Structure 1
Amino acid sequence: MKLYELKAIAKRLNDFSFISRARRVEDNTLELMFDKSDSYFFNMTRGHSVVYKAPSQRPLQGYNAPFDTLLHTLLSASKLINVEVPNNDRILRLTLAPKSSYKDKIIYLQLEFTGKNTNAILIDDNKVIIEALRHIDADSSFRVIRPGMELLAIPSYERKEESKEIADIDVYLEEKHEQIQAKKLLELKKQKLSVTAKKSKKLAQLLEKLPDELQLAQQEQEYKSYGNLILANLYQIKPYDTKLKTYDFEGNEVTIKLPKNIKINRMSDYFFNLAKRAKNKAKNVHIEQENLQSKKDFYDNIYYALEQAKEPYELELLVPKRAKSQRKKERLKEGELFWIEGYKVLVGRNSNENQKLL
């Protein structure tokens, strides 16, 4: 964020009298709604911080960290006293009077757009940190950001930045939102399409590897024949033999590779069991084929829906991003897991999986 942008934003926010809503809508993005009408979003991503204006939208997931609880409790319905850019630093400081306080109380929300140390910090009137979006230890910076610690000032240094006049800051921030959304849509769509395509490709490979019913029927007959020939020629097989050369019942010469570590009198059972397995596979291979094909069709439909998506919100809804802890806990054999507005939604990839989920 440029200094002239922050000054124009501060000037505009001073037109409002109170904050009606304060919440986190993404991992690093805060939404502040002023006077029940105008929502401004503060993306506090390190190195890519930005402020934009857009219609309020319900977040895909809820955030319940201590910072989020205090942000909602202290800022929602609070009176807006002043918004400033202190010491010409890339900082927006909102001075507020919380509604929940039983006596006059002043707090500050300090939004620091300072590269790798970008942060959102709640401070009391003694400049003591109440809570912060990111905690910073002494190992990382001389400015320790922890609840109960005094917030030290950012060292001042002279910077040379271009200064521009922004005619209408709201229009400027709305245009910025459109640019951000277009870029985010492109990057996110590419990522989600890649993930979905990999799942579809994996299922296609499994379909290709499925044995053919005719081939399995031939294997069944072959293994049965081997079993019968071994029974008929049991007397010829020595304990150290690795193969049996004999003639089948039609008079054709046959060489049978003998299994290792199996007693001679159990060798015929070995081949009869192989014949039984081949028969069962042939009997059920069409069921597995239908199962895999329906799952592949599910991901192909998701892929098509991703291609048609016009908003990043739609992309996250179709292929939601899960936290690492959720990835470990939620290992599903049947269906896909979606988190929508904090609710866990399980969707089967075919009718069988839907029945199991019920």
Structure 2
Amino acid sequence: MKYQSLIQICEYLQSKKFISHIKRTGDNLFKICFDGDETLFFDMDKTSSNIHKNAAFVESKTYKAPFDVVLAKRFVKSKILKIAVPQNNRILSLRAELSAGYKRLVSEIHFEFTGRFTNVIITDEAGVILEALRHFDNDFRSIRVGKKLIPLPPREIKEQKAARIEDFSAFFEAEFKSLNERKITSLRNVKLARIEKKTEALSQSLKELPSAAELLRQAELFSLRADLLKENLYKIKDYERHISLISRTGERVEFDIQDPPKIALSQLYAEAKRLRNKSANLHLEEQNLKSKLEFYESLCELIQNAQSEQELEILLPRKRIVQERRKEGEGEQDVQNFYLGDFKISVGKNERGNIRLLKNSGKEDFWFHLKDIPSAHVIVKTNKQNLSEEAVQMAAKICVNFSVKESGKYLVDYTKRRNVKINEGAFVNYINFKTISVLKPQ
């Protein structure tokens, strides 16, 4: 963020009277609605901070940390008292007041666009820190709750002269476009690399699958060894671990066992049974691997066509978030879950997944399916919220991309689950539905 641009933005915002709403919508991203009619995003990333507009923003996560609680309590529906940029500092300070009856609550929020020390700090009227996006201590400053905020001293700022901003709306949109193109390219490459690793591993597993005939051959060998051991078990001592026997064909067969002969015999029969079962179910294992590969192919296509950082995080969250959800029991082999704010969007990866979604969904959940075409089933859990337009768009897009390969325009029907009647398996009839059109790009 350029200092000269920040001064002009400050002058522009000084005409605003109140903050209708403010919240954190990304780890370092803040959404602020001024006067009920203008929404700006403050991106407080250490390497690429800026202030921008994003009309297509999709909220993908709800933040409830102590910082977010203080932010809402102090600034939602507050009156703006002062907006200023300290001299020779890339900081935008906003002073606001909340009045509730006889109580008057004055607070300040400082957006510090200061490189590696970029931060958002909330203080009370006396300048005592109430919360901060990032807490730290160094030789000059201590950003800790309860400490007095030490203002940054003026510094010499060296930057090229910034042009006069004539159209702030166009400026904020251009800032987003520039920032988004850089971020989304980098993040998309990271996500695609993760998927490539998974698909390489799955392809290798598929390639290494043994043939059914080979498994049966191995099972027969284990069974023959077990039969030979069983025939001679009466003359083998319990303590013997190396056993040499002659088969009916006159061949000498050696046994090196770790357990007593009776236990070793059970293990040989068990292994023969396991191999026969694996041979019988080999087609299911192969089908499962192919199904996973098809899933990642569809996910890869969605990621390649994603238009925002938020959409990328919805489609493939960071590993830490994925691990947390697995601990909470969210991992299902036949169902994939996506999260858009408080909405949970689930898609069946195969027929088993579709059936599971239909059986386990509540009557107030929303169901999505391609019109007149066999497709994946998608269920959106709303947590008693009204279904947002963003959730409808994302669920429909997921339904299309996990159902068809060809590009084109597709119609997706959706309705509440209570309007869907299961005929058999994943075959259904439904009423009282709406339809949305989705374009699947080439």
TM-score normalised according to structure 1 size: 0.84
Shift in CA distance, 159/257, structure 1 to aligned 2, threshold 3 Å: same
Pick from 302, 306, 311: which aligns with 2:308?
A: 311
**Partner residue of 1:145?**
143
**Partner residue of 2:195?**
196
Percent identical residues: 32
Q: Deviations over 1:221-274 (max 9, x none)?
A: 3334444555667899896866546562xxxx6343323245567776664444
Is the CA contact (8 Å cut-off) linking 1:166 and 1:172 kept in structure 2?
no
**Partner residue of 1:286?**
283
Is the CA contact (8 Å cut-off) linking 1:67 and 1:132 kept in structure 2?
yes
Deviation of 1:175 (Å):
0.7
* Amino acid paired to 1:31: K
* Amino acid paired to 1:148: G
Q: Deviations over 1:128-186 (max 9, x none)?
A: 2232222233xx24322233322222123333433323232332221110011111221
Is the CA contact (8 Å cut-off) linking 1:39 and 1:56 kept in structure 2?
no
Shift in CA distance, 237/130, structure 1 to aligned 2, threshold 3 Å: closer
Shift in CA distance, 26/165, structure 1 to aligned 2, threshold 3 Å: same
CA distance in 1, matches of 2:40, 2:115: 20
Determine helix, strand or coil for the equivalent of 2:153: coil
* Amino acid paired to 2:164: I
Is the CA contact (8 Å cut-off) linking 2:212 and 2:282 kept in structure 1?
yes
Determine helix, strand or coil for the equivalent of 1:88: coil
CA distance in 1, matches of 2:112, 2:322: 28
CA distance in 1, matches of 2:260, 2:23: 73
Is the CA contact (8 Å cut-off) linking 2:98 and 2:106 kept in structure 1?
yes
Determine helix, strand or coil for the equivalent of 2:145: coil
* Amino acid paired to 2:204: Q
**Partner residue of 1:276?**
273
* Amino acid paired to 1:304: E
**Partner residue of 1:65?**
65
Is the CA contact (8 Å cut-off) linking 1:29 and 1:42 kept in structure 2?
yes
Q: Which has the higher contact order (CA 8 A, sep 6+)?
A: 1
Shift in CA distance, 152/285, structure 1 to aligned 2, threshold 3 Å: same
Determine helix, strand or coil for the equivalent of 1:123: strand
* Amino acid paired to 1:283: A
Deviation of 1:74 (Å):
2.3
CA distance in 1, matches of 2:56, 2:273: 63
CA RMSD in angstroms comes to 3.1
Shift in CA distance, 179/164, structure 1 to aligned 2, threshold 3 Å: closer
Is the CA contact (8 Å cut-off) linking 2:79 and 2:98 kept in structure 1?
yes
Deviation of 1:295 (Å):
2.4
Shift in CA distance, 208/118, structure 1 to aligned 2, threshold 3 Å: same
CA distance in 2, matches of 1:232, 1:97: 91
**Partner residue of 2:294?**
297
**Partner residue of 2:121?**
121
1:154 matched to 2:155: no
Is the CA contact (8 Å cut-off) linking 1:23 and 1:71 kept in structure 2?
yes
Shift in CA distance, 133/242, structure 1 to aligned 2, threshold 3 Å: same
Shift in CA distance, 92/101, structure 1 to aligned 2, threshold 3 Å: farther
Q: Deviations over 1:277-314 (max 9, x none)?
A: 32222222222222232223222221122222233232
CA distance in 1, matches of 2:93, 2:260: 84
Determine helix, strand or coil for the equivalent of 1:40: strand
CA distance in 2, matches of 1:214, 1:180: 57
Q: As a proportion of its length, which structure holds more strand?
A: 2
* Amino acid paired to 2:341: E
CA distance in 1, matches of 2:347, 2:274: 33
Determine helix, strand or coil for the equivalent of 2:324: helix
- What runs of 5+ residues in structure 2 fail to find an aligned partner? 361-442
Deviation of 1:323 (Å):
3.7
Q: Deviations over 1:24-48 (max 9, x none)?
A: 1111111111122221211122243
Count of residue pairs the alignment pairs up: 352
**Partner residue of 1:112?**
112
Q: Deviations over 1:316-347 (max 9, x none)?
A: 22112354882573363634443321345555
Is the CA contact (8 Å cut-off) linking 2:88 and 2:156 kept in structure 1?
no
Aligned runs of 1:1-358 on 2, under 5 Å? 1-55=1-55, 57-100=57-100, 102-103=102-103, 105-137=105-137, 140-168=138-166, 169-229=168-228, 243-244=244-245, 248=249, 254-261=251-258, 271-321=268-318, 322-323=320-321, 326=324, 329-330=327-328, 332=331, 334=333, 335-344=335-344, 347-353=347-353, 358=360
Deviation of 1:59 (Å):
2.0
Deviation of 1:6 (Å):
0.8
Is the CA contact (8 Å cut-off) linking 1:123 and 1:130 kept in structure 2?
yes
Determine helix, strand or coil for the equivalent of 1:157: coil
Deviation of 1:22 (Å):
0.8
CA distance in 2, matches of 1:87, 1:267: 83
Is the CA contact (8 Å cut-off) linking 1:82 and 1:94 kept in structure 2?
yes
Is the CA contact (8 Å cut-off) linking 1:227 and 1:268 kept in structure 2?
yes
